[in-house]
Structure 1
Amino acid sequence: MLGWLFSPSCPCDSAAKAWIEERLEWLAGEFDDSAFSGRPVVLPTPEFFPDAYDGSKKTVRRLLDRVCEYMDVVPDLITLKFVADAGKIWLENEAGHYLPGAAGTYEESERKFIIRIDKSGLDDPMGLVGTIAHELAHVRLLGESRIMREVFDNEVLTDLAVVHFGLGIFLANTPRNWDSQYTKWPDTDLLKPEYLTPPMFGWALAHLAWFRGEEQPEWARHLNGNARANLKQGLRYLLTTRDSWYRPPSLRRGSR
């Protein structure tokens, strides 16, 4: 309530801020039809997910096909498999902190893309949408040879691509906020996370609202409290300062 008393600020650090702006512009060059250019923002509502869901393999497959539609992936190219107890495999970073296992994985075969889903996440369909969207973003980026798996920002870029296609709400509400294992942002001493952090989602989603001319985006009510706060902070900063390399077309002429 007292936010107006304080100067607006970007929710993430300077290295993450610059990376998000640069990669959002790159994504726009790769995929011109996106939520930033007018596609609907996909919401966790029956309008976008009208199918009944009971956690069965059949309904998970139906959910995947629905997300394929929103990510512009041909469903027949995807083989869906299920794994048990993937979360029991824990990694440890250089600080000695345990890191949780992945909720889904992506693999390329000779003719199809294989997505594996951890059975432990099947009771949360909207969280599952985020997992599926992330793996399908791998299809769009790696499967279509737009990036190499070895690039330093593979996973964070994959999360950002989900925002680009309009499904960022699902990941922002259940972020895989892993600590960095061994990496830093290039030419900095700042740690680079494995996946987008909540503040980074806030900055990316703030750009989405900014591009859509939405000072109070209706879709923000579907974000949880922390995610919504990060969005509001980022959007307030953008509306006040316009401090971003990635700007709406109407603002690209003239000074920054």
Structure 2
Amino acid sequence: MPAPDEDLALLEGAARAAGRIALDFWRQDPKAWDKADDAGPVTEADLAVNEELHARLTGARPGYGWLSEESEADSSRLDAEHCFIIDPIDGTRAFIAGQEGFSHSLAVARGDRIVAAVVFLPVSGRCYTAFGEGPALLNGEPIAPTDRGVSGASVLTYRAVSEPGHWKDGRVPDFRREFRPSLAWRLCLAAEGRFDAALSLRAAWEWDIAAGSLIAERAGAAVSDRYGRRMRFNSQRGMVDGLIVAGPRLHGELLAALDDPGLRPAG
């Protein structure tokens, strides 16, 4: 059975290959269309990258399951000890617009835990990696989150998070809201301390956050769903109930400020 560092090497090579394919389409007016059920846009580049990743990764690890945004659901992954969790292009709208902030998000889950992860931004060459109990790295250098409280913190999130109804007694914390198009990258930006936190109160697809969650955790961030619970992956639903990713102090303050814990679901 391959060790997590061996899986990491496989993921990094695959991510860089994905980047070469994506850049062949980037700013070249790729064909794009909307997926069914308001699931967002997709381009011919997403599908080309997905095809390359599927062939490369499952060819190297034929016993691993497969969960990808751009593949048909395959329930056999639920019985696999290991599963690839992949977003071929995270930030497709940014990709279509010719912006630089899209990424490739690749992870391996063992059971319900992520054990190897890569988030790669091909335009800038930023490559975030982590495996098992190893460090989180950006282009080979260790990263770490900030250590600050909520007042004045820079939080990567969307506008609706600032609505009073999400917060105890309607008191929205005094943080500064920022945004980046790739959710996977947002987790990594919090992990490296360029921003103080990444926050989402909406359910998130596993392929968007699997890789970034391990990178943030190994960097020293506190990582949970929006209710403070440990994230679990390769689930039947394929989603996580939001996310809070930040240094331990800020994570605790955000969690404490959110709406009544009595409203949290069991589990």
Q: Which has the higher helix share?
A: 1
**Shared fold (TM-score, shorter chain, > 0.5):** no
TM-score under structure 1 normalisation?
0.27
- Give the number of the structure with larger relative contact order, counting CA–CA contacts within 8 Å between residues 6 or more apart: 1
Q: Which has the higher strand share?
A: 2
